[in-house]
Amino acid sequence: MENITTSEFKIIEEPKKQLSMNPKKFAMWLFIASVLMLFAAFTSAYIVRRAEGNWLYFELPDLFYYSTVIILLSSVTMQWAFFAARKDNLEMVKVGVGVTALLGVAFVIVQFLGWGQMADQGVYLVGNPSGSFVILLTLVHGVHLLSAIIFVLIVLNASFKLKIHSKSMSQIEMCTTYWHFLGGLWLYLFVFLLLNR
């Protein structure tokens, strides 16, 4: 029998496991990052322009307070639907997602009515930059929220087709994340506008 020395053995390292993420989730996170940068640019421009003077000070519409409550409630119902999906409570998923969609639509309507309150104060998109910034910020946020409402409706449709359950959480997880992000973004914008009128 031949003597085998340890130098003849090669040590082979196990390949390290690659970190992976669902490509759709990765795309969503990239999109969220780009939206964050967009609103960071808007709010920075707001601060710089306000410092230049010729700035009209006005009260934010009372309806913006109501829309804030609506968006917070919608985050609760969306999270409730997510938890229901984890527990395979499919009826509650439908209810939670459906109520979230309705609250989302209510938020957009109340924001639109808030612009009417601004018009009653003589504040329009065209005119003093202070009003232009407020309308632009809320309008761009509203457009993103409309995209989220479409996403919620897609999830609602999937829930009626029984495609949302504990073994298939990716779609509702992404929708919940995006919805909470837009709710958090609105809270940031609302507090920013309250503090920087």
Secondary structure letter of residue 18 according to DSSP: P
User: Is 133 part of any domain?
Assistant: yes
Q: What distance lies between CA 15 and its chain's CA centroid?
A: 37
Residue 108 structural domain: 61-195
Secondary structure letter of residue 45 according to DSSP: H
Structural contact between residues 130 and 55, judged by C-beta atoms closer than 8 angstroms = yes
Structure tokens at 141: 């946020």
How much is the average pLDDT of 167-176?
95
User: Is 55 part of any domain?
Assistant: no
User: Is 89 part of any domain?
Assistant: yes
Q: What is the pLDDT of residue 34?
A: 97
Within a 13 Å sphere around the CA of 154, how many CA atoms are in the beta-carbon half?
13
How much is the average pLDDT of 154-160?
96
φ, ψ for residue 110, nearest 5 deg: -65, -40
- How many structural domains compose the chain? 1
| Distance, CA of 70 to CA of 145 (rounded, Å) | 13
User: Is 184 part of any domain?
Assistant: yes
- Statement: the pTM of the whole predicted model exceeds 0.85: yes
Per-residue pLDDT reduced to its tens digit, 11-66: 566 666 665 778 889 999 999 999 999 999 999 999 999 999 888 888 999 999 99
User: Is 15 part of any domain?
Assistant: no
User: Is 49 part of any domain?
Assistant: no
CATH number of the CATH domain containing 179: 1.20.120.80
Structural contact between residues 130 and 51, judged by C-beta atoms closer than 8 angstroms = no
User: Is 52 part of any domain?
Assistant: no
